[in-house]
Structures are given as C-alpha cells and as structure tokens.
C-alpha cells in the first residue's frame, strides 16, 4: 500500500506540468468550472495538486520498498479521471442550487402574493382571479384579467397588483355612474366610453410590461452582479458581456417604472372621476320642503304633543 502511495505521489507530481501547459493554452480543458481562468490553472497545478502529491509522498515514507508501477500509472492518469468526475459533480450541485433557488423564489412569490392580497383586502380592494373572472365582467374587466395573467406568467406579481387596483377603481366609477345617471342618458354613455378608453390604455401598458418582464426573466442578473463584485480578474469579453447583461436588466426596469407611473396617472384620473361624479346631483328632491323647515316643524310638533295628551 505504501509503495502504491509513493508511486501515486510521484505520478501526480509529474502530471502537474503537462496539465499546467494545457491549462495555460486552453483553461477550459484543465479546469472543470463554468468560467475557467488562467489564474485558476496556476492555483490548481502549481499549489493544490503539488501539495496533495507532497502529502501522499510524506505518508508513504513510513515504509515500503520504493514506488510501484501501478502507483505511477494511477498518478499520471489521476487528473484526467478527476476532471470529468468533478465536472459532473459541479453540474449536479449547480442543479441542486438552481432547484433550491427556484423553490425559494416560488415561496417568495407566494409570500408576496399573499401579502399583496392581504393589503388589498385591508384597503377594500378587490383581487382579480384571471382563471375565474367575475360573472358580470365586461370587456374591460376581461382585458384586465388577461393582462394580470401575463404578468403572473412573467413572475412579476408586484406589477400584476396594478390590475387589481385598476379593477377596483373601474368598478367604483361604474357604481357612481349608475347611481348618478340613467343608462339611457347621453352623458352616461359618453362617460362610460371615456372611462373604458382610460382603462384600455392602462391594459396596454400592463401588456407591454408583461412582455418586457418576460424578455429578461431568464437573465441571471444576480450571478452577473456577484461575478463582477468578486474582484477576480476577468477577461475583457466576459466583463463586457456581464456588464451588458446588467445594463439590459436595469434598462428594462426603468421602462417598467415609466409604464407603472403612467398607470398611476390612470388610477388618479379614475379616482378624480369617481369623486366628481359623486358630487353631481342629478336626482329630484324627495322631500316637499327643505331640511331646516322640516326640523322646525318637527320641533313645534314635539312641543305641542304634551297639550294633546292633557286635552285627552
């Protein structure tokens, strides 16, 4: 056994030089990482592998009669065998981390959705279910459901909540219109048309946001940001690619913010419409006299009520 370890140490040490040359020429053939570099080649074949060979050699000094042939051969092919094994282990571990990250993202998405729903319920806001639209849903509400589903498919529930807010404002304005106007009046149809156009414009913004969000959903910006922040020397092409990746995500987020601001303006317009319509008095008075006169007459009746009892 000690003879085998001694031969393994010699063979492993001798294999460092050719693998170092191979790695300096093409790092991806000597380093089983996703983004190999020549610095990793230097660390592995000038420090790590020689240190392992030294430990094996020191262990074999306790006895034995010299290095064995099988140990030499095993040491010479050890790196060639280890590289594909390590590469498979790294891919397996990367898959495990991706599944864990996807699970955490799904849990975080569910938590955010629950939080948004809770806030919506506390604020009196109705939540749309794209799979089950309201029974009385018109074309505007159906369009909001489709836009919300597209945003949920793009993994942006933080933006999809705008569809719920638009639906709440739209429903409120419709209730005010029905209470203040008759459905046969021209003002009612004109107001309903204008409100629908505002909501359709907001739906177009939501659809555009869903398209842009889905276009960068597969961009691993966290990896690019972490890679650039590690301080490891990177090739110019890799650094440019990572920076461009981050720029795409940041530019898309700015566009999403601009579209979200437009929808906030639409929400404000709907709120203003509801308040303005609620102030309009289109009905006829139900009382024959005003309130002050009615209160005065009631007071006089109460004062005379006692005399009716005494006369009786």
How high does pLDDT run on average in the chain? Answer: 78
Both tokens of 145, joined, read 């459901």
Pick the most confident of 127-131, 147-151, 218-222, 286-290.
147-151
Tens digit of pLDDT for each residue in 67-99?
777 777 877 888 888 888 888 888 888 888 888
Question: Which residues, at least 6 apart from 210, have a Cβ–Cβ distance to it below 8 Å?
Answer: 147, 150, 151, 153, 154, 156, 159
What pLDDT score was predicted for residue 305? 60
Average pLDDT over residues 208-217: 81
Average confidence (pLDDT) over 166-193: 82
Give the pLDDT score at 294: 67
pLDDT at 1 over 80: no
- 66-70, 163-167, 202-206, 291-295: range with lowest mean pLDDT: 291-295
Calculate what percentage of the chain has a pLDDT beyond 90.
1
Exposed / middle / buried, residue 249 (Cβ in 10 Å: 0-12, 13-18, 19+): middle
pLDDT level of residue 223 (50, 70, 90 thresholds): low
| pLDDT bracket for residue 307 (50, 70, 90) | low
pLDDT at position 227 is 59
Query: Within a 13 Å sphere around the CA of 46, how many CA atoms are in the beta-carbon half?
Result: 10
Q: Show Cβ contacts of residue 29 under 8 Å, excluding neighbours closer than 6 positions.
A: 22, 23
- In the block, residue with structure tokens 């569809």: 163
The model's pLDDT over 42-57, given as tens digits with 9 standing for 90+, comes to 888 888 888 888 887 7
Higher pLDDT, 132 or 144: 144
Task: Please give the average per-residue pLDDT across 1-10, as a whole number.
Answer: 75
Question: What whole-number distance in Å separates Cα of residue 267 and Cα of residue 261?
Answer: 10
Q: Which pLDDT band holds residue 127 (cuts at 50, 70, 90)?
A: confident
Q: Report which of 35, 34, 31 is spatially closest to residue 79, judged by C-alpha positions.
A: 31
Query: Which structural domains are found in the chain, ordered by start?
Result: 2-99 (no CATH), 125-279 (1.20.140)
**In the structure, what pLDDT confidence band is assigned to residue 120 with cuts at 50, 70 and 90?**
low
Q: Give the angle subtended at the CA of 31 by the CAs of 29 and 36, to the nearest 5°.
A: 100
Mean pLDDT across 265-288:
73
Give the residue from 207, 249, 208 showing the smallest Cα distance to 225. Answer: 249
Q: What is the pLDDT of residues 235-267, one digit of tens each?
A: 667 667 767 777 777 888 888 888 888 888 888
Whether the predicted pLDDT of 122 surpasses 60: no
pTM: 0.50
Distance, C-alpha 262 to centroid of its chain: 21
Contacts of 2 (CB under 8 A, 6+ apart): 59, 60, 62, 63, 64
């Amino acid at each position: 056994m000690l003879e085998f370890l001694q031969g393994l140490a010699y063979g492993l040490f001798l294999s460092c030089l050719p693998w170092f040359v191979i790695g300096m020429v093409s790092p991806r053939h000597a380093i089983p990482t996703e983004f190999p570099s020549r610095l990793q080649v230097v660390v592995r074949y000038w420090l790590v592998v020689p240190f392992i060979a030294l430990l094996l050699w020191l262990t074999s000094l306790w006895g034995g009669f010299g290095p064995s042939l099988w140990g030499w051969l095993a040491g010479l092919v050890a790196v060639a065998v280890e590289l594909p094994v390590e590469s498979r282990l790294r891919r397996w571990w990367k898959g495990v981390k991706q599944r864990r990250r996807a699970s955490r993202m799904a849990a975080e998405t569910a938590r955010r959705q629950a939080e948004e729903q809770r806030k919506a319920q506390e604020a009196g806001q109705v939540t749309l279910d794209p799979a089950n639209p309201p029974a009385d849903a018109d074309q505007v509400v159906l369009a909001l459901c489709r836009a919300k589903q597209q945003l949920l498919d793009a993994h942006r529930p933080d933006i999809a909540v705008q569809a719920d807010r638009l639906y709440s404002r739209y429903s409120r304005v419709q209730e005010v219109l029905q209470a203040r106007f008759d459905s046969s009046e021209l003002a009612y149809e004109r107001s309903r048309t204008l409100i629908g156009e505002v909501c359709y414009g907001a739906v177009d913004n939501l659809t555009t946001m869903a398209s842009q969000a889905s276009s960068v959903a597969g961009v691993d910006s966290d990896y690019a940001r972490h890679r650039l922040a590690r301080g490891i020397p990177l090739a110019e092409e890799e650094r440019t690619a990572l920076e461009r990746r981050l720029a795409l995500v940041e530019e898309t987020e700015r566009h999403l913010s601009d579209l979200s601001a437009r929808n906030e303006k639409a929400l404000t317009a709907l709120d203003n419409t509801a308040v303005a319509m609620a102030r309009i008095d289109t009905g006829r008075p139900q009382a024959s006299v005003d309130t002050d006169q009615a209160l005065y007459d009631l007071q006089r009746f109460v004062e005379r009520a006692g005399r009716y009892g005494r006369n009786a």
